[in-house]
Amino acid sequence: METTYSLTHMTDYLNLPSLDYPDMRLTLFLVLLFCMPTQALTVITGNSFEHYNLEGGLEYRLQASPDRPQMNTDWEVARDTLTFGFNPDNLWIRFAVRNTSSETQNLILDFPYPLLDEVDVYIKDESGNETLHQLGDTRPASAQKIQHPHLLADFRLPAMSEHQIIVRVKTEATLNVPLTLWAQSAFVSSSVRTTVFDMMMYGILVGIALYHLLLFAQLREPSYFWYSAFLITLVSIFAYFQGYINAYAFESLRRHSNHFLSWSYALVALSCIFYIQRTLDLPRSRPGYSKALNAVIASGVILAIAAMYIPYSLSIKLLTGYAIFATLVVISSQAIRVLDQYEPAYYGFSASAFLLIGMGITILEKTGLIVSTPVTRSAGDVGFTIMAIFYALLLSQRMRWEQHKRHKAELAVRLSNAELLQTQQKLNKKLDVLVRERTVELEKTNEQLHQASITDPLTGLFNRRHFDQEFQRLHQDATYDGSSLSLILLDIDHFKAINDHYGHPAGDACLIDIANRIQSVAKNFDAVCARYGGEEFIILMADEDLSTARAAAQTLLSLIREVPVSVSGHSIRVTASIGVIARQPGSSDETDTLLKAADELLYQAKSQGRDQICSPESTNVPL
């Protein structure tokens, strides 16, 4: 806001004689300027107005009495967002809104922090008529004109007019009052984007929770249940702090929303701690920390019960302290397991670090120690979301860790059996020499027979029977640990024409040459390569995504296309058609499903002109 004062107008208004001396005019101007009452901030809403964040320059007054202060009393000027921590006083705010456009404007005063008990908005026009909006999460939802997660006061501002706005805020929670003045159309657009983002975040968390609940129903592993309960309770806390529960819940639940928060805190602590105890094996490895976590659970339940009988202003402070204490205990238990070199604990400790940072920023913002911005206000939500993702990784890593332990135990058994066999061999040395010689011969023969049974005699690659066995094994492993499988199915274009034109020996030489090129590309991915039939080859890559498989296929396609095959003085140009598919197998999937998808992609590559790659990202073949 910018205001210009005219010295001539002021002297005329006060009936003072004309001043001819510049110094005397300046002196009188300064005296009059400092004697004038302070004007509140005026927001100018022109034709292109969309929104204005009411932060620095906003005038406010804190007082114990709910009575409206006089306009000429002392008011303070805010430097940034009005944040005062746990403050029981009434906060009064004043400012003006001036419409400089030629049309009436529909405006909305937005309070993005919805957990304010009482918010009274007085809007006074130039004629002295005053409108009152009574908002707040302790007041009935039916008394508020606009049903929305935020607290909203709407008004119409005629062209070339000005309204004075005074706001009173009283709350038992943290006195955090971010304010934004919106043009109605801009607010609707922004609100839709915010709601879509929130619902997307909730949907991701609820989807993960339901997935783990289904895993619990199938596997009966309690860790899945507690993780699912933790995520669902976490989403309810998000919805509470973002205003969705108070805005859209039943009126009876709205009246008890403060109790809802205390019970949600207790349940999220209970489910999180039970999950941590099982995934980190605390009852067996660290019983002392397990008992401490059980005490945290009991404290949360007691606090939730006590919150039903004590003032909310006290219970919210106790809940804040409890959240900090519970977080520190959980982090310390994870830290001690990190020191135990228990690998799954690394994910849990990282998750808690993100949670601690997010909660720390949120607490500092709610208590007024740092500036309130959209980033600081959403830091806790972001921290919780990242923590939920890392906790999912913790559970997966724990399963892998147990699998690794089983493999080590099996290896130890095998080593023990080998030592026992060696001892027996020493006791029967003479007899064993003969047995060993014959055994070596037999093993060599068996190995030769085995290699002959799994190898294609022409190309030296694995044959189809061995590939099918390896495919079944890797498919089961991928289904168990949640990794992906990639298939590259390759067919030499117009191979019959090569046989017809150059002869079958030349065709065999082409197959051998192409097989060597396939082997040179596949060895970089530890892949299984096989001659799948005739001029058809297949490559199976474990734990590789579609982009990696397609890149490998592109390399192979270029290598085949650009380097002709030399046979008996002839330079034969060879091309290939390739189908590429990658998928994370589910428990109900079969290997035939993946093979059929790859074959359909190969067929489409041929039907589209050959010498190309088809994959799900470039085709409409249903998967």
Report the catalytic residues.
Answer: 535
Q: How far is CA 360 from CA 327, 419, 432, 497, in A?
A: 11, 57, 71, 72
Cα-only R_g, the chain: 37
Contacts of 187-193 with CB under 8 Å at 24 or more apart are 187/51, 187/108, 187/110, 190/51, 191/148, 191/150
Residues 171-196 as b/e (b if ≥16 CB within 10 A, e otherwise) read bbbbbbbbbbbbbeeebeeebeeeee
Output the six-digit token pair for 452: 């002959």
Packing angle, helices 464-481 and 379-427, rounded to 10: 130
Q: Are strands 42-45 and 90-99 parallel, antiparallel or unpaired?
A: parallel
How far apart are the C-alpha atoms of 14 and 379, rounded to whole Å?
A: 56
What's the residue count for the chain? 623
Q: In sequence order, what are the beta bridge partners of 169?
A: 91, 119
Whether 81 and 178 have beta carbons less than 8 Å apart is answered as yes
- What number of other Cβ atoms are within 10 A of residue 602's Cβ? 25
How far apart are the C-alpha atoms of 210 and 310, rounded to whole Å?
A: 35
Cβ neighbors of 89 (< 8 A, separation 6 or more) are 62, 63, 64, 175
H or E element at residue 173? none
Q: How far is CA 261 from CA 168, 236, 288, 302, 308, in A?
A: 25, 9, 29, 14, 11
Cβ neighbors of 310 (< 8 A, separation 6 or more) are none
In 3D space, the residue among 43, 166, 112, 117 whose CA is nearest the CA of residue 365 turns out to be 112
H or E element at residue 310? none
Helix (H, G, I), strand (E, B) or coil at 527: coil
Whether 227 and 392 have beta carbons less than 8 Å apart is answered as yes
Residues 479-508 as b/e (b if ≥16 CB within 10 A, e otherwise) read beeeebbbbbbbbbbebeebbeebeeebbe
Q: How far is CA 71 from CA 81, 94, 283, 483, in A?
A: 22, 9, 64, 68
Backbone torsion region of residue 181, taken as left when φ is above 0, otherwise alpha when ψ lies between -120 and 50, otherwise beta: beta
Helix (H, G, I), strand (E, B) or coil at 66: coil
